[in-house]
Structure 1
Amino acid sequence: MNLQPLLQFSRLLLLSAIIMPHAAKSLANPQAIVVGAGPVGMAASLILATRHGYDVTLLESSPESSSQAKYDPTKAFLYNVNARGQTLTKMFPSMHDKLVARGVESRGFSDATFTIVPADPNVPIPQKQKMDKSFELKEDDDKENKKQLQSVTKSEKAASPGYWIPRHEMVTLMAECIQEHNDNLGTNKGGKISFLTGRECLDVSPGTSCVNVKIRTGARDNITLQANLVIGADGMNSKVRECLSHSADGTWNASSPKPKLFQLQKYVSPASFLRIKVLQLPPRFEIPDANNNPALVTNSENIYAIRSIHKGPRNYLSLGLLPMKNNNAIRPTNIVTRPDHEVWTLKDGKSIKSWFEEAFPRMKFDGMISDEEWERFAKAEGTRFPYCQHSKGMAVWDESGNNGVALVGDAIHAFPPDIGQGVNAGLMDVVCLDRALSGLDTVCGKPITESKQLYTLADNLARYQQQHAPEIAALIRLARFGAPYQYRQPHRADKFSRTLWTMNVALRLILNKITFKLIQPSCIILSQRPELTFRQVMRRADLTTLLLKAVVLGVIGVKCRVCFGFA
């Protein structure tokens, strides 16, 4: 007897037992599906359920055994949730309280402290220093250049603090907020959030009075869910965006963005394609000092930069450790290099350990890092920083205007992490979507008109598309030019370009001071002001660029007239 059809039917019944009670509980509530259960996807689920009354099904392709709330060395990076990201967290007091309690407060680059550990073991470890305006950890700048770079604006000093927090802990606190919301449904208004793991999105298409989302529930089992609103929060390789880019013209409402607008616009930054992987150091590890000074016992809330003795373009390395709250947790250090670095040629634990012992003679790796960790690190493929990329298309809607799809987070924009805006920009996408669904201006959050006009879902998604797309384009420009050399890429061309970039930042800071802020500083400094949108940041920086170009052309014109007798 063939039992395969019966087994498949049983699986479908099990899935129905999970989903149908949620749908039957409140048939009056609109239905939403959020694809992707990272921080941005969880934020979108909370917004839809608490503020717009949706019953939300949150889909995550990873199986439960590899939950994103667990520490994973392949994703051991930290977020700095700044004032932009806190626009969302402050909408949920419990979430913001958890962020403050579990994060390490940071008031911007001007107030950050760090310890540079010299490569030479005979050189004493200096005291903690202030971070300069080049946003690099440098020990070789001349004093005058440092004095210029350390100038900070009052607006940056007064900015509200950001909070460093590991990614898995950010996911954990958001999952706790979702559980709190579901537990209080009896007293709070809103819809329920159902979390389904191991559910891969295969297709998104318009249906009859709904949006169809085809998902894989097992090795061979597929099922189609239906919703009024689908949110793609599934990362830079978004399946939801891919489906929208491959849909035929006319599939969605004719007024929706065309499929070609959902094809990624890609730009190369000096940080694009850098390779990265994580070496795990033990908590409170010790760094030997010189002159018989006691060893420096590291603290999780401090920043460290440990230099290697190698200075060549293919062997220079610096171990950077960012702050985290738990002093008993593993300290991940990101190895960020050009793809041709020697470290990527070593494929076994013994050889990679020998390389690190030679490169960092100050460090005592024996007893600090296990052979198993060296082996894991050597075999890890790591990942690469992406292009600076974005999708011009951000939302579609069907012919009825009552059903649609919207993208948030890395599904619409991705870039290297050097400007520190990744998670913050994603959370602001959710804030702007919330404003659009509320019938508000996505930029300022104010009503579009004084009349109490009722907008359809199509109207709101069209506003999200129209008003937020230029903001994302400006964000990508900021990512391209903001701070792409902070990884101290060691190639000669990198060093020359980094020098020019540092001079540009310093010049704009000097002009900003001597003109009493009439001339604006560089875009990376302006981006630290949360009251400015990314469009405003880039417009102000562009005005300074135009002024500098005009001055240069004017000087050239005068020189030509003097030398050759013509204007």
Structure 2
Amino acid sequence: MLERRPTLDAEDADRSYVYMIDWRGRSMTDAAGVSEAVAAAGVSTTTIDFMQAGRREGAGVLPDGKTKSSVIQIKDEMRSNVWLPRTAFLRALSSGLRTAEAAGRVSLLHNTEAADIRLGAAPAPGPASPSSPAASRPAITVTATDITTGASRTFAPRLLVGADGMNSAVRAALERHEEEERGAGAAAAAGAGGEGRFRPVVLDSPAAGLRFRVLQLPPNAPFRRPPPGGGSGGEEAGRLENGRFGKVVGVRAPRLRALALGLLPLRDPAAPRSANIIVPPEHEVWAQTSGEALRDFLQASFPQLDIGALMTPQQLAAAATSRGGVFPRPQYLRHFTAVVPQPQPHAAEPAASPAAASGVVLLGDAVHCFPPDLGQGVNSSLADAVALVKALDAAGGDLAAGLPAFEAAAAPEAAALAELMTFSYPYQYNQDPVARAFWTANFLMRMLLNKVAPWAFEPHSFLLVQQPIPYVEALRRAHATTQRMWALAAALAAVAAAFLVRAAMGVPPS
């Protein structure tokens, strides 16, 4: 395993977000024997218990500091999810890795990245020698570099797994190999047509393009609130408790100046708290490029917080200079495996067995990536790993059979999940209040219809994704409910029209 960071749980201010591990993720943690470690490091919830607030209904801790508690039933209360910081999750996984390393089954190389990947290399010219028969020459070679020393090592894996993100170097190697296989002319034609076996299908989403920045707050961050009874006896300190969801709402302002902070729960009451700012790229917060400017902007936005006391000058400067991250457009691959046959031997050598073929497979964000609307980035990636292992086990380790079987099962899931991301919950960031109001009405209508006629109408897709069903099935049910809602609307419109016509004609109601 090649890992660029010095340790698995190395801190990264721009990645200090909180994961939600659901039943899909638990399928992998169960298989790896780390589910207890994950649960011990996180907060298990069946509902979203928000620290709510004051003058604006449904908002968080407001500028006047007034607060109340509220439980939001916007998830499937029958299923418990675990919320924990990314570093805590990786630390829990590392316990399983250490066991595998001690058994000699895994070698984890830190500060290391793949510098060069070659697929399907032809045998060297000339006669083979007994010490280097052509049939033993690798179909896959990976040159890895230690980024601290510059030292290089070369590997010849039988199976190369690319779990290296949306800008995957392994996927790029697959594209190069495809072009070499088809020839320069065919590759140019494919490039002109925008086609290619390993090129992603890119969709659109109202959340795509939003930028996020993570602020580090102290544990149980205090905020100012008025004393009981609204007297003038000074301000009391409320606290954004680590173990609860929280939202801090800024002062009323134009859309490109208004801010809110979202906080996800932590188990450790003494751990620093991450607060997320998610806004359009043209928002004024991105123009604050010094620590002092960012402090003043945040203080003007959040009078209920003492920004200078909550964040050090060094933290403010680091946050101001960080460009944060950008939510990608939903995208997926139709193909993400390749069987690479062994190089053809010389005539004097026996042919390699088809079962000896090498293979390449992509997992996780290298196959499908999208905004974090549904909390499925990490869970779908973990589910990929489980599905790959099952396919290879079923094929008895034969990559030529196991990899195509994995792709056949996982490709429809990747496509369905990417499509779900385009409409399921993209307005939660309040980037478009009008569209969010329509989304909320749609959500409530589906929930009402499901209560009245569950045999005909499914819950909202946000809840369907949490059920133990494939993404393909969640998408099918969501679309089927949409069609029935339109049919119901048409029927009601027809009845209303008939009633109006009869009334206009003076026909009494029957």
Under TM normalisation by the shorter chain, which class is it? 0.7 to 0.9
CA–CA separation in structure 2 for the residues paired with 1:86 and 1:514: 33
2:28 to 79, 85, 88: 88
Please name the residue that 1:500 is paired with: 438
SS of the equivalent of 1:283 reads coil
2:298 to 348, 356, 367: 356
Please name the residue that 2:17 is paired with: 77
Decide whether aligned partners of structure 1 residues 209 and 298 sit closer, same or farther in structure 2, where only a CA change above 3 A counts: same
Q: Does 1:167 align with 2:96?
A: no
- Relative to the length of structure 2, the TM-score reads 0.82
Please name the residue that 2:364 is paired with: 409
Give the conservation status (yes or no) of the 8 Å contact 1:276–1:337.
yes
Give the conservation status (yes or no) of the 8 Å contact 1:121–1:290.
no
CA–CA separation in structure 2 for the residues paired with 1:197 and 1:374: 28
Please name the residue that 1:15 is paired with: none
Q: Deviations over 1:79-117 (max 9, x none)?
A: 011111001111133x1111111111122xxx2211124
SS of the equivalent of 1:273 reads coil
Q: Does 1:234 align with 2:164?
A: yes
Decide whether aligned partners of structure 1 residues 60 and 121 sit closer, same or farther in structure 2, where only a CA change above 3 A counts: closer
Q: Deviations over 1:277-312 (max 9, x none)?
A: 111111232112212574123321111101101332
Deviation of residue 132 (structure 1)? 4.1
Deviation of residue 501 (structure 1)? 1.1
Q: Deviations over 1:207-266 (max 9, x none)?
A: 4454222333458765531011010000111010111123235749xxxxx981210111
Please name the residue that 1:545 is paired with: 482
Q: Map residues 77-116 of structure 1 onto 2, 5 A cutoff.
A: 77-93=17-33, 95-107=34-46, 111-116=47-52
2:142 corresponds to which letter in structure 1? V
SS of the equivalent of 1:418 reads coil
Q: Map residues 7-18 of structure 1 onto 2, 5 A cutoff.
A: none
1:164 corresponds to which letter in structure 2? W
Radius of gyration: which is bigger? 2
CA–CA separation in structure 2 for the residues paired with 1:411 and 1:264: 9
1:271 corresponds to which letter in structure 2? A
Q: Does 1:429 align with 2:371?
A: no
1:295 to 224, 232, 237: 237
Decide whether aligned partners of structure 1 residues 485 and 120 sit closer, same or farther in structure 2, where only a CA change above 3 A counts: closer
CA–CA separation in structure 2 for the residues paired with 1:343 and 1:82: 33
Deviation of residue 182 (structure 1)? 2.5
SS of the equivalent of 1:175 reads helix
Q: Does 1:368 align with 2:310?
A: yes
Please name the residue that 1:158 is paired with: 78
Deviation of residue 204 (structure 1)? 3.8
Please name the residue that 1:279 is paired with: 215
Q: Deviations over 1:433-457 (max 9, x none)?
A: 01100117xxxxxxxxxxxxx5721
CA–CA separation in structure 1 for the residues paired with 2:64 and 2:433: 27
CA–CA separation in structure 2 for the residues paired with 1:220 and 1:296: 51
2:173 corresponds to which letter in structure 1? C
How many residue pairs were aligned? 450
Give the conservation status (yes or no) of the 8 Å contact 2:329–2:371.
yes
Q: Does 1:224 align with 2:154?
A: yes
SS of the equivalent of 2:226 reads coil
Decide whether aligned partners of structure 1 residues 261 and 385 sit closer, same or farther in structure 2, where only a CA change above 3 A counts: same
Deviation of residue 398 (structure 1)? 1.9
CA–CA separation in structure 1 for the residues paired with 2:210 and 2:170: 27
Q: Map residues 456-475 of structure 1 onto 2, 5 A cutoff.
A: 456-475=398-417
Give the conservation status (yes or no) of the 8 Å contact 2:114–2:142.
no
Please name the residue that 1:22 is paired with: none
CA–CA separation in structure 2 for the residues paired with 1:373 and 1:540: 46
Give the conservation status (yes or no) of the 8 Å contact 2:209–2:329.
yes
Please name the residue that 1:314 is paired with: 256
CA–CA separation in structure 2 for the residues paired with 1:325 and 1:199: 33
2:172 corresponds to which letter in structure 1? E
1:199 to 109, 113, 117: 113
CA–CA separation in structure 2 for the residues paired with 1:211 and 1:361: 58
Give the conservation status (yes or no) of the 8 Å contact 1:200–1:217.
no
C-alpha RMSD over aligned residues: 2.5
Give the conservation status (yes or no) of the 8 Å contact 1:206–1:251.
no
Which ranges in structure 1 are unaligned for 5 or more consecutive residues? 1-57, 136-155, 186-190, 253-257, 441-453
Please name the residue that 1:420 is paired with: 375
- Relative to the length of structure 1, the TM-score reads 0.74
CA–CA separation in structure 2 for the residues paired with 1:294 and 1:560: 59
Give the conservation status (yes or no) of the 8 Å contact 2:65–2:304.
no
CA–CA separation in structure 1 for the residues paired with 2:274 and 2:48: 19
SS of the equivalent of 2:394 reads coil
SS of the equivalent of 1:59 reads coil
CA–CA separation in structure 2 for the residues paired with 1:229 and 1:198: 19
CA–CA separation in structure 1 for the residues paired with 2:261 and 2:376: 22
Q: Does 1:131 align with 2:67?
A: no
CA–CA separation in structure 2 for the residues paired with 1:455 and 1:366: 58
CA–CA separation in structure 1 for the residues paired with 2:318 and 2:101: 39
1:546 corresponds to which letter in structure 2? Q
CA–CA separation in structure 1 for the residues paired with 2:413 and 2:453: 28
Deviation of residue 551 (structure 1)? 3.5
